[in-house]
A and B are shown apart, each in its own frame.
Chain A
């Protein structure tokens, strides 16, 4: 990430994710069970771009408030909303207007009134202190040039005893410089 300034990185990522089109469900099928996908609108399934299944490890309970950092087209936000039920709330946060709109549309299509979607940065979470029971995120933290800031914001919005379940990609060995300098690699 050191090859890109924060503003440049954000613009590259916003453009890449804003323009991405549904292209089959092969990503979602790699991580989610068929019975889970059956409850989610098809476009949200086809636009799943995560790298794991953080909801599976979040131990969500009815009535909880869940925040999905970088919600994309909303698959994890919607699964969280189903898990916490009508007495709970799932909040999707994304910096890309197209993704915010998609998640809103998918929540409406799924009939989930307990989904709230906000446009904003994961480095400046637009929520009050201690207002969230669980923070989830799927393949998003690696896109930030300020990961510690994202985690500090996560701590701020979590209630005492609140939980985090986060999927992401990590390097075990470094990548060649020509890859690290590639905007396409940054967006992934």
Chain B
């Protein structure tokens, strides 16, 4: 979905150069999130998703020369 948005605006050579699972333990490092919110997420998410809530990716691309 996100890669398609890159393609749709005309970017080229679109590549996902890193892709890593991002789970509750990763979120807990961020001062943006309270203990209450993390507990809420732990309860709301099925256990099998706790280590892979989302994925962190790095995307590279370039604008055509012409």
Contacts and interface: CB of A to CB of B under 8 A. Distances in A.
Given A51-B22, A57-B17, A152-B9, A160 B58 contact: no
Given A151-B9, A184-B37, A173 B49 contact: yes
Contacts of A184: 32-34, 37, 40
Contact of A169 (B17, B29, B55): B55
Contacts of A175: 45, 53
B22 to A, nearest CB: 6
A170 to B, nearest CB: 5
A172 B9 contact: no
A52 B56 contact: yes
B63 A162 contact: yes
Q: For this complex, into which size category does the number of interface residues on chain B fall?
A: 35 or more
Interface string A79-99: 000000000000000000000
A49 B9 contact: no
Contacts, number: 123
A163 B17 CA distance: 14
A143 B1 CA distance: 15
3 A-B pairs closest in CB distance: A23-B31, A26-B29, A184-B37
Given A164-B11, A173-B49, A20 B32 contact: yes
Interface of A: 16-17, 20-23, 26-27, 30, 49, 51-54, 56-58, 141, 147-148, 151-152, 154-155, 158-173, 175-176, 178-179, 182, 184-185, 187-188
B45 A176 contact: yes
A26 B33 CA distance: 14
B10 A147 contact: no
Nearest to A178: B44
Contacts of B31: 20-23, 49
B32 A188 contact: yes
B32 A163 contact: no
A167 B57 contact: yes
Given A162-B62, A164-B62, A178-B44, A151 B34 contact: no
A161 B63 contact: yes
A159 B31 CA distance: 36
Nearest to B26: A30
A76 B36 CA distance: 30
